[in-house]
Amino acid sequence: MPSMFTQRKFALAAALLGMALALIACSDKGTGSREGGQRPGPGGAGGPPPATVITSRVERRPFGPVIEAVGTALARESVEITSKSANTVTAIRFQEGQRVAAGAILVELDRAQVAAALAEAEANLIEARNQFNRGRDLSVSSALSKAQLDQLQTAVKTGESRVAAARARLEDTVIRAPFAGRTGFRKVSRGGLVNPGTVITTLDDSSVIKLEFTVPQSFLNDLAPGLAVEARAEGLGGRVFNGKITTIDSRIDPVTRAIAVRAELPNADGALRPGLFMSVRLRGKPIDTLMIPEEALVPEEGRSFVFVVEDGKALQREVRTGGREPGSVAIVDGLTGNETVIVEGTQRTRNGGKVNAQPRTSTPGT
């Protein structure tokens, strides 16, 4: 049997051999990683490789901001039909909701008393003219002075004025439509007494609707007569009514800091009614604006940034945005128009980091 000393020598030799093999293995692994394993990336010795990103050029093109508002529909012409004097209704010539032409008879009032007053005025006029004619003959022979002849002539003119006034009162007993339109509810009955200001009915010309709405003063430079508008009203099945701006108010409300705008909407089929609450959408006056794809925006703590590629590096810039359109956003401040911005890969991009920029070859959404 081997001695205790011999066993210890074998155990020590085995331990030394194991340590040597371990050192050799570690040396081979390190050599392999330097020669046959991963090599340092182009981004720097031992650093990560440049991120591959997709870029797009900043565009300058005409753009008008989208303005949304709410307004009220008004008839092109609207009036309350009333009487000029106290009188009794003798006939009603219209139906509620009827379309009437301009000048159509709506209501007739009692004319007996007014007709008698006209006949009296006409008789007085005839008498005044006869006296004037006799006086003119007498003035030739100097039997009548010129002053007396002037008085007779004045009486004739007074008689003519009274006849004209009586005829006007007689015409007022027939109430006509001042313009073509649709009548409203009838507020009087035959035989009823009407006084000045008593509403008989309403008349609205709704062939064209005037839509009035307000816009914040910040859009003042974007408004102009002739701009197209789109309007919708709840209860009309989502139908879109197209029109254009006709008038912009000359004043801004000092309380709301908004300006009133009026647009006109064709309404040949009468679908729109005065008083409708409508939503309005229009695009402001187009001006040359810097536009970038929406994907390029990087929101951060309530601010907006973009990554601009310069000399193979991504540089972060803060921008101020304006209006939007599908797929694009207007840039008000922060860019000059000659930059290339990153639209894909912003999540793996760092400010100042190297990037491998590839230009976008297709439009958004394709």
How much is the average pLDDT of 19-43?
47
Give 213 or 132, the one with higher predicted confidence. 213
Rounded distance, CA 308 to CA 328, Å?
A: 17
**In this structure, CATH architecture of domain 111-172:** Orthogonal Bundle (1.10)
Model confidence band, residue 104 (pLDDT cutoffs 50, 70, 90): very high
Q: Which residues contact 254 (CB under 8 A, 6 or more apart)?
A: none
Which amino acid belongs to residue 64? Answer: G
Share above pLDDT 90 across residues of the chain, in percent, rounded to a whole number: 54
pLDDT in tens, 51-93: 889 999 999 988 888 889 999 999 999 999 999 989 999 999 9
- Reply yes or no on whether the pLDDT at 6 is more than 60: no
Q: Which residues pair with 288 in a beta bridge?
A: 62
Residue 251 has pLDDT above 90, yes or no: yes
User: Is 218 in contact with 323 (CB distance < 8 Å)?
Assistant: no
Element (H, E) at 67: strand 66-82
Given a cut of 70, whether residue 338 has pLDDT beyond it is yes
pLDDT band at 285 (very low <50, low <70, confident <90, very high): confident
Parallel, antiparallel, or unpaired for β 355-359 and 51-57? parallel
Question: Burial, 243: exposed, middle or buried (Cβ in 10 Å; 0-12, 13-18, 19+)?
Answer: buried
- The residue extents of the domains of the chain are 51-62+287-359, 67-75+204-283, 111-172
pLDDT of 1: 44
- Tell me: pLDDT of 236 over 80: yes
Q: Which CATH class is domain 51-62+287-359?
A: mainly beta
pLDDT in tens, 297-326: 999 888 999 999 998 899 999 999 887 888
| pLDDT confidence of residue 272 | 93
Q: Average pLDDT, whole number, for the chain?
A: 85
**Architecture of the structural domain at 67-75+204-283:** Beta Barrel (2.40)
DSSP string, 238-281: T--EEEEEEEEEEEE-TTT-EEEEEEEEE-TT----TT-EEEEE
Rounded Cα gap, residues 109 and 115, in angstroms: 12
The closest alpha carbon to 203, from 77, 109, 73, 74, belongs to 77
